[in-house]
């Protein structure tokens, strides 16, 4: 649960105080007045007691310091940690706010306040404090981890509402703070995939697999992105690894069959599709792929049979309707082709192939005006696809530019 995670982060911050802040106090204590030396000693004792979970003893030492010096921001900060561990968040917030007001350059104060806000679900308040803590002390991996967690949550919320561009911006920011986080790289891959940024998705999934070797989903999605780049044998290898890890998943055999079909290894592909069907007889995808195999070798009766299996369970499947329309077109059954292809575009108007063959079938029957309309739609969709492809380097170009900027986050 998030509260326990936040508490662990705060305890880790206390440990850092012991390693760094206490050492600094010890080095300077000999140059201070006896009263200052006593306060430094009490702060060291309080930090040690905090890390051991001795909250009452820690508070006694801290209150002693504050009686002598009510504005000591170090004591206020550690007392704020005590209040967090006592589940007195409102009082902790007041103390941390005093700390950052008393010393705006004290990184632990901003870090503790940001972590508290995160714990309370006050993300908008947490972000500036965590950013400020990292600006003051870029080496605080614990604070970076909290910031990355928030950015990941925000990216997921954006993607859940279909706002993939916002999700991309957020996950890219998370990547700046955690480039070696496998979850961040995987989420970047999925987001890039949704935005048709194929090369960037490939790079992100490959990095995921470097960091987490047997990530099955990263292998699976990487395979499809490689297919989009016509790297069919590389895709085949990814899908083969996937089915080795998940031998009971029918989608793996279906994907492997698609890669083999693209390589022209039709019989091997057919065997994989049949394995997929054996595991999940009620599915439609592998029947569809078998229909495409049969169509491509000219076995139109068998292709029709396989495609009708798809349409029996999914009568509005635009892909199967398009494939069936092509089968009818190849047999010069133009009226039947037009019927199937019109149904396809009514279900998914973005199918370039369906518009194209519908235009050709209409032309064969002398319906020139209708044919031209469909062919124009096909040409427009093809052009739009090319435009999307031109944006393929968006992420990489943005990152390359930011690396040249002096204030780019590290």
Q: What is the CATH number of the domain that holds 22?
A: 1.25.40.10
The secondary structure of residue 19, as a DSSP letter, is: I
Look at residue 194 and tell me whether its pLDDT is greater than 50. yes
Whether residue 228 lies inside any domain: the answer is no
- Above 60 in pLDDT, residue 312? yes
Mean pLDDT (whole number) for 78-95: 92
Q: Residue 86 pLDDT > 70, yes or no?
A: yes
Looking at residue 110, what is its pLDDT? 93
Tokens of 90: 């409102």
Identify the residue with better confidence: 1 or 338.
338
Domain span holding position 107: 1-139
Distance CA 359, CA 338 (A): 9
- Residue 71 to residue 209: CA distance in whole angstroms: 51
Q: Within 10 Å of residue 83's Cβ, how many Cβ atoms? A: 20
Using CA atoms, how far apart are residues 328 and 336, in angstroms rounded to an integer? 6
User: Which is more confidently placed, 349 or 53?
Assistant: 349
Please check whether residue 245 lies inside any domain of the structure: no
Residue 27's pLDDT is 39
Q: How far is CA 301 from the centre of its chain?
A: 44
Q: Is residue 50 situated within a structural domain?
A: yes
Question: Do the domain assignments include residue 408?
Answer: no
Write down the H helix ranges in 120-197.
Answer: 123-136, 141-160, 164-177, 182-194
**Domain-terminating residue out of 139, 165, 185:** 139
Nearest-10 Cα torsion for 216, 221, 224, 225: -130
**Which pair of structure tokens corresponds to residue 64?**
């002693």
Q: Please check the confidence at residue 240 and state whether its pLDDT lies above 50.
A: yes
Domain C-terminal end among 115, 139, 163: 139
Percent of the chain with pLDDT over 90: 72
**Residue 35 — very low, low, confident or very high, per pLDDT cuts 50/70/90?**
low
**Is 38 domain-assigned?**
yes
Is residue 213 situated within a structural domain? no
pLDDT at residue number 389: 60
Indicate whether 78 belongs to any domain: yes
Comparing 11-20, 140-149, 258-267, 380-389, which segment has the lowest mean pLDDT? 11-20
Mean pLDDT value across residues 124-143: 90
Residue with tokens 């009452």: 56
Residue 36: per-residue pLDDT: 72
Indicate the average pLDDT of the chain. Answer: 87
- Average pLDDT on 34-48 reads 79
What's the pTM? Answer: 0.75
Q: Which of the four pLDDT bands, split at 50, 70 and 90, describes residue 119?
A: confident
Residue 201 is assigned to a structural domain of this protein:
no
Which is higher by pLDDT, 371 or 2? 371
Q: Terminal CA-to-CA distance of the chain, rounded, Å?
A: 29
pLDDT at site 390: 57
Distance (Å, whole) CA 381 – CA 307: 25
Q: Give how many domains the chain has, as a whole number.
A: 2
Q: Which residue has the higher pLDDT, 23 or 136?
A: 136
Q: pLDDT grade, residue 140 (50/70/90)?
A: confident
Q: Which of 347, 292, 342, 293 lies closest to 318 in space, CA to CA?
A: 347
Which of 234-261 are b and which e, b meaning 16 or more Cβ less than 10 Å from the residue's Cβ? bbbbbbbbbbeebeebbbbbbbbbbbbb
Burial class of residue 146 in the structure, from the number of CB atoms within 10 Å of its CB (0-12 exposed, 13-18 middle, 19+ buried): buried
Asked which of 139, 170, 192 is the last residue of a domain, the reply is: 139
**Angstrom distance (rounded) from CA 222 to CA 224:** 5
Residue corresponding to tokens 């029957």: 365
So what's the pLDDT on residue 404? Answer: 44
**Average pLDDT estimate for 147-165:** 93
The phi and psi torsions of 215 (rounded to 5 degrees) equal: -75, 100
Using the predicted structure, report yes or no on whether residue 370 has a pLDDT greater than 90.
yes
Alpha helices in 178-265 (DSSP H): 182-194, 198-211, 216-228, 232-245, 250-262
325-338 average pLDDT score: 97
The Cα–Cα gap between 261 and 319 comes to 17
């Amino acid at each position: 649960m998030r509260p326990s995670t936040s508490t662990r982060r705060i305890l880790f911050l206390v440990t850092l105080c012991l390693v760094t802040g206490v050492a600094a106090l010890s080095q300077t204590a000999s140059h201070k007045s006896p009263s200052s030396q006593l306060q430094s000693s009490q702060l060291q004792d309080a930090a040690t007691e905090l890390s051991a979970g001795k909250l009452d003893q820690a508070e006694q030492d801290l209150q002693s310091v504050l009686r002598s010096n009510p504005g000591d921001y170090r004591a206020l900060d550690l007392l704020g940690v005590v209040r967090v561990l006592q589940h007195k968040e409102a009082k902790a917030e007041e103390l941390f706010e005093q700390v950052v007001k008393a010393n705006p350059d004290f990184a632990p104060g901003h870090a503790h306040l940001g972590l508290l806000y995160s714990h309370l679900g006050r993300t908008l308040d947490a972000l500036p404090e965590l950013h400020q803590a990292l600006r003051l002390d870029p080496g605080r991996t614990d604070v970076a981890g909290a910031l990355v967690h928030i950015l990941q949550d925000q990216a997921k919320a954006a993607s859940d509402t279909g706002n993939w561009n916002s999700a991309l911006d957020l996950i890219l920011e998370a990547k700046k703070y955690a480039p070696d986080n496998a979850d961040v790289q995987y989420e970047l891959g999925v987001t890039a995939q949704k935005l048709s940024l194929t090369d960037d998705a490939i790079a992100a999934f490959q990095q995921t697999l470097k960091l987490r070797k047997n990530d099955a989903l990263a292998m699976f999605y990487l395979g499809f992105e490689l297919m989009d780049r016509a790297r069919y044998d590389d895709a085949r290898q990814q899908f083969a690894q996937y089915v080795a890890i998940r031998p009971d998943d029918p989608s793996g055999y279906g994907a492997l069959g698609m890669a083999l079909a693209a390589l022209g290894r039709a019989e091997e592909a057919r065997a994989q599709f049949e394995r997929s069907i054996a595991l999940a007889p009620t599915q439609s995808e592998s029947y569809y792929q078998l229909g495409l195999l049969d169509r491509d070798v000219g076995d139109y009766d068998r292709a029709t049979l396989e495609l009708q299996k798809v349409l029996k369970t999914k009568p509005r499947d635009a892909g199967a309707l398009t494939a069936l329309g092509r089968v009818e077109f190849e047999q010069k059954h133009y009226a039947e082709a037009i019927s199937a292809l019109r149904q396809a575009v009514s279900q998914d108007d973005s199918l370039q192939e369906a518009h194209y063959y519908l235009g050709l079938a209409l032309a064969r029957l002398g319906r020139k005006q209708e044919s031209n309309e469909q062919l124009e739609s096909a040409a427009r969709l093809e052009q739009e696809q090319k435009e999307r492809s031109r944006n393929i380097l968006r992420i990489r170009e943005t990152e390359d530019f930011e690396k040249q900027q002096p204030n780019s986050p590290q």
